[in-house]
Chains A and B, each alone.
Chain A
Amino acid sequence: MSLCVLDEDKFHLCCQLLLQLSEQLGDGWSWEGGQEGYLRKTALRSVVIDSSSVWDYEGEGADTSCPSRSEQQEGEQEQAAVDASADTDSIKGDMEDEDEDDGVCVASAGSSQLLQYEYHILHSCSYSTPVLYYRACTQEGRSLSLEEVWSSVHPNYRLRLQNSPLNTITLQAPPLLGQPFFMLHPCRTEEFMRPVLQAAQDQHRPVNYVLSWLSVVGPVVGLDVPLKYSTLLHPAAPPGSTEPG
């Protein structure tokens, strides 16, 4: 379905648009690496890290990679509850209804730390989607381990991530830099983007693939995507205008 395919040119276009909006909002995104480059942003976050929490992020077996369709059937009931639209409020709503006591995470009290996050958005030519890479380190320059990153993901998302084929966090070396980064696996991106893109097409509404995608995956890793992006993209039509609102 070419609707969901984000080729490199389209990726660049979406990024340029995002950069313009970011500049207006002072949101801090920049473009690095020239022609075959990526979006970059750094942010300071105050996060509760508990490296001693008993968190089996690997779930069953060792498969931190995305599950296959047969595995997906096991999680299908949960999947049905997930509204795969870019409306993060509805996703959060579903999660808050869940009984968090069912999780395998033992969330013990941890201290709050100020962490330096660095986010990269690249284009994956294998999956024809954007991919989010990030790393975090303490003020002293110590990199976070995968366990610590998992324990810093908001509980609302943790259970969902563990069981959902939506995305998984793995440790990878991104194509451009080769240094260890955390990555949200892109293999299911097309699945949750499809309803968004279809709806936009049906309503003759322009949609920025990268921005919509980011508004879904960003909050999972503590990346805030202000709602103002949306209002700048679709300003309310002034009275008397014939443009669709």
Chain B
Amino acid sequence: MADDKDVLRDVWFGRIPTCFLLNQDEVTEREAEPYYLLLPRVSYLTLVTDKVKKHFHKVIRTDDAEEMWFEYEGTPLKWHYPIGVLFDLHASNTVLPWSITVHFKNFPERDLLHCPSHSVIEAHFMSSIKEADALKHKSQVVNDMQKKDHKQLWMGLQNDKFDQFWAMNRKLMEYPTEDGGFRFIPFRIYQTLSDRPFIQKQFRPVSPEGHVHTLGDLLKEVYPVALPNEGSSIPTLPVCPLT
């Protein structure tokens, strides 16, 4: 794990330059200026956009304003996906900065989950951490952690504190050396060209013969159309649930 520290830091500090624009149909008291922000790939839209809301609330009629939601080229953006996943899924070919449209009306009930507070994001995040540990350690590590440890994980993410986060997360990333790896590797492959939003299956880190599995092995097993020699160029985004 110590050797990977550079990789871990690069992943954590990944940013997407974004330009937030108010939806043209919103009634404003004066012209709405766009708002620019560097979004952390590992975080969630509703966690990092309080300033965006504050900025646009200055120009719209706030007594009408409902819950803020985001859209890119007509597609409502699911806040419960990590930001990096949203970008790779919907906008990977776009010229930067990524232009996101901000709405305060007509919340798309069928497409988006409501996010009335940060505690909802925390619950969702912790739920993902727990599900990942169910796959890695049959939930033993996460259940043996104290509530304050869980809180530290969350606070680390919320406040963008790499060391604070990883002080706890490293426990979730350990395994007994004799096992050679986790029970199963937590992963999800998100896709747009399908009814099913993502692929998630049980996948062992080591083959029965003792070979360490690679990303290519994973794709071959669960998403073979992604591999070059299958002749297809569908973009894929293997993403671990933040572990």
Contact = CB atoms under 8 A, between A and B. Distances in A.
Partners in one complex: yes
Interface of A: 58, 61-71, 125-127, 143, 145-146, 170-173, 175-180, 185, 187
Contact of A68 (B114, B132, B142): B142
A68 B126 CA distance: 11
B119 interface: yes
A135 to B, nearest CB: 10
A125 B185 CA distance: 12
B114 A127 contact: no
Which label, helix, strand, loop or mixed, suits the secondary structure of the A interface?
loop
A126 B130 CA distance: 10
B200 A125 contact: yes
B4 interface: no
Interface size class of B (residues with CB under 8 A): 35 or more
B127 interface: yes
Contact of A67 (B119, B147, B200): B147
B118 A62 contact: yes
A125 B202 CA distance: 6
Contacts of A127: 131, 134
A153 B126 CA distance: 24
B200 A126 contact: yes
A126 B145 CA distance: 19
Given A58-B119, A175-B196, A178-B197, A170 B145 contact: no
B122 interface: yes
18 contacts: A58-B119, A61-B151, A62-B120, A63-B122, A63-B126, A64-B120, A65-B126, A70-B147, A125-B200, A125-B201, A126-B186, A127-B134, A143-B109, A171-B113, A172-B113, A172-B127, A178-B196, A187-B134
Given A126-B134, A171-B120, A178-B196, 13 more contacts: A63-B123, A63-B147, A64-B123, A65-B126, A65-B130, A67-B147, A69-B143, A126-B131, A126-B135, A127-B131, A175-B200, A179-B110, A180-B113
Contacts of B151: 61
Given A68-B146, A127-B131, A187 B122 contact: no
A137 to B, nearest CB: 10
Contacts, number: 86
Contacts of A61: 119, 151
The 8 closest A-B pairs by CB, nearest first: A62-B119, A178-B197, A64-B123, A65-B127, A69-B143, A65-B126, A126-B131, A126-B134
A145 B131 contact: no
A66 B197 CA distance: 24
A207 to B, nearest CB: 22
B147 A170 contact: no
B143 A68 contact: yes
Interface string B129-164: 011101100010011111100110000000000000
* Candidate in A62, A145, A170, A185 with the most chain B CB atoms within 10 angstroms: A62
B212 interface: no
Contacts of B110: 143, 179-180
B147 A71 contact: yes
A170 B123 contact: yes
A118 B126 CA distance: 27
B197 A175 contact: yes
B111 interface: yes
Nearest to A72: B143
A50 to B, nearest CB: 18
Contacts of A126: 131-132, 134-135, 186, 200
Contacts of B142: 68
B139 A146 contact: no
B112 interface: yes
Contacts of A175: 196-198, 200
A176 B196 contact: yes
Contacts of B202: 125
Nearest to A60: B147
A146 B119 CA distance: 14
Contacts of A146: 114
Contacts of A180: 109-110, 112-114
A128 to B, nearest CB: 8
Given A68-B150, A70-B146, A176-B196, A185 B127 contact: yes
Given A68-B145, A68-B146, A180-B109, A145 B119 contact: no
B57 interface: no
B141 to A, nearest CB: 10
Contacts of B200: 125-126, 175
